[in-house]
Amino acid sequence: MVLAGTEDGRQLAEALKLRGHEVLVSTLTAYGADLASEQGLQARSGAMDAQSLEDLLKSGSFAALVDATHPYALRVKEMAKTVCEELSLPYLRWERSSLDLEVHPLIHWAEDIPTAAQIAAKLGQRILLTTGSNALPEWVSLPTLRNTYLYIRVLPTSQVLARCESLGFKPNQIIAAQGPFSQEWDEAMFKQLGIEVVIAKESGKVGGTLEKVQACLSLHIPLVLLKRPPSEIQDNQSLQARSIPQFIKHLEEIL
């Protein structure tokens, strides 16, 4: 089983299939499952708790679980690892490689959301959040952002839009679109909205972060980047910043 909803996770699942493995891709959203199915992969969708993941793993006679979820999906990582330990099932974490950014006066790093908000509020009033919708309640609760004007870029689903509206965001503050986005697309949007600061996650080479960086530097807009959370997996089953062929070789050695 491959837990994945992102492009690199689907690439990994596809490579496993080409090696002759039977693969089930599990995604949070139906859209993610549709993308996997379009690549010829077997897929299922929907959020799972520990019990439902355990039941699914037991029913499918799986030989291993590959966790290729987003670098910031800590809760899912820990849940999957715990379930695999209880089932004595091999757990392997695929961690996409980080961006290697040079020091630049426009790029500011933050350890957490409160720090990122504090930095951004000092740099400008018209702030664009591109960190997803899950943490929006925390963002809007921060006193440091109360005198700023927030724009948010989120997935265009009814559930996400309802969450945004419930938190008080107006239609003219919500950019609902599916990425990844090109540098040109980002630049055009930043200019049209008069964005003064952009906040993003360091999601790696696949997540569209580099394009945001390039757009901000081109327009001389400050960028606040949330650092990745410290890895919860430090053992030899974590293959951070390695290639897909290396990862598959390691998996096959375990199996």
Residue pLDDT, tens place only, 98-148: 777 889 999 999 999 999 999 999 999 999 999 989 899 999 999 999 999
Give the E-state strand segments of 70-169 in sequence order: 91-93, 107-110, 126-129, 149-154
| SS3 (DSSP) at 98 | coil
**Both tokens of residue 47?**
């959020």
Fold of the 2-97+230-254 domain: Rossmann fold (3.40.50)
Please say if the pLDDT value at position 172 is more than 80. yes
Q: Name the phi and psi angles at 214, rounded to 5.
A: -65, -40
**The predicted structure's pLDDT at residue 61:** 85
- Summarised one tens digit per residue, pLDDT across range 50-104 is 999 999 999 988 999 999 987 777 788 899 999 999 999 999 998 877 777 889 9
Q: Name the phi and psi angles at 160, rounded to 5.
A: -65, -45
The residues facing 152 across adjacent strands are: 129, 174
Domain ranges within the chain, ordered by starting residue: 2-97+230-254, 107-226
**The predicted structure's pLDDT at residue 186:** 96
The dihedral of CA 164, 197, 75, 237: what is its sign? positive
**The predicted structure's pLDDT at residue 231:** 58
Matching residue, tokens 């990582």: 77
Q: Mean pLDDT across the stretch 155-177?
A: 94
- Summarised one tens digit per residue, pLDDT across range 205-252 is 766 889 999 999 999 999 999 988 765 444 434 454 468 899 999 999
Q: Name the phi and psi angles at 66, rounded to 5.
A: -110, 120
* Same-fold call for 2-97+230-254 versus 107-226: yes
- Candidates 3.40.50.620, 3.40.50.1820, 3.30.360.10, 3.30.465.10; CATH matching 107-226: 3.40.50.620
